[in-house]
Amino acid sequence: MLSNIPVARAGVTGASVGRPDGVSRRRVEFRAPDGVQLVGHLRVPPGNAGPRPAVVVSNAMTSVKEQSVNAGYAQRLAAAGFVTLAFDQCGFGESGGLPRLHEDNQRRLDDLHIAVSYLTGLPSVVDPERIGVIGVSIGGGLALNLTAYDPRVRAFVAIAAGLLNPARARELMPTYQDMLADQTSLLRRYHRTGALDYIPVVRTPDVPDDQPVLFDNPIATEYYGTPRGAAPNWRNRVSALSLRTILVDDTRTAADTIGPGAGLLIVGDQDVATLPEDHQAVHDRLTGPKRLEILPGVHHNDLYDQAAVGTAADLAADWFTTHLR
């Protein structure tokens, strides 16, 4: 089946890699309208069933395709019968684009639209009328937004999702105004000089105590700062201006305009990073088919690479089976 996938513009696709479950994985390249090359892993289920439903996979913040979305969700959903596309967002991992290692939710959302267009250009492999999206952490909020703004996407699954808008961010962050002022100063400098300051994503033993980091908390460190989150294409480095996307971008209000898109939200009841009450609030605002699963005893990072991933992936597969008919 993967032999039918066209060579990407200005690049070639990699060799197909077979898996014990019969899933084939190929490195693929596709381009944004501005010429930036995006690199992903396309997985195709075993067999010759013809065009299949497909799921775009949306990464956690600063993550690359080999991390939390990889075997846990992209591979499991492919084994369940869905074509999946996990890819590096612009500026991260193997993908091109400048500035490097800079988080921008609007650009990430653009990348997700481009990924949908890529999938719809594979008519022998993908049924363009049956496309969904799954996302983890910030990627979960963007999965919701993609479904609201792209009618080609019929269903989403948001897992331990970042579901903020500026109003909610102000409620949760006592120093919000000071943080926004600091980020605005960095933005002013970037606009004037084109230069970005870079900081570690998390604090590790080699990071001085007085060095600012993007996520200065044990939740992020236990994944990104340990071998659990190690990946060849990931670096413990990100632009200091990346925090601004959490403060000012909206991954929540799209719930009011998502229309008929079907939404499943999954979160652990012990998640103090992306709160269960935020998932409940978004669930209550959805107007299409919807479901909320709050998993007992599960923390945020458990839904990256621990046993809870199996539960979440099974729920996602059932959801997509129902709503991508």
SS3 per-residue string spanning 161-184:
CCCCCHHHHHHHCCCHHHHHHHHH
Cα within 13 Å of Cα(281), Cβ side: 16
Q: Give the pLDDT score at 15.
A: 61
- State mean pLDDT over 297-321: 97
- Quote the pTM value: 0.93
Mean pLDDT over each residue of the chain, to the nearest integer:
93
| Weakest-pLDDT range from 11-15, 30-34, 41-45, 73-77 | 11-15
pLDDT value at 7 more than 60: no
Identify the helix (H) or strand (E) that includes residue 312. Answer: helix 308-323
Q: Give the model's confidence band at 2: pLDDT under 50 very low, under 70 low, under 90 confident, else very high.
A: very low
Q: Residue 295: how many CA atoms within 13 Å on its side-chain side?
A: 24
Asked whether residue 240 carries a pLDDT value surpassing 60, the answer given is yes
- Give the separation between CA 244 and CA 172, rounded to whole angstroms: 15
Mean pLDDT of 263-288: 97
> CA angle at residue 228 from 227 to 231, to 5 degrees?
75
Which domains can be identified in the chain, with CATH numbers?
2-164+250-323 (3.40.50.1820), 168-244 (no CATH)
Q: What is the pLDDT of residues 60-70, one digit of tens each?
A: 999 999 998 88
Across the range 259-271, mean pLDDT stands at 97
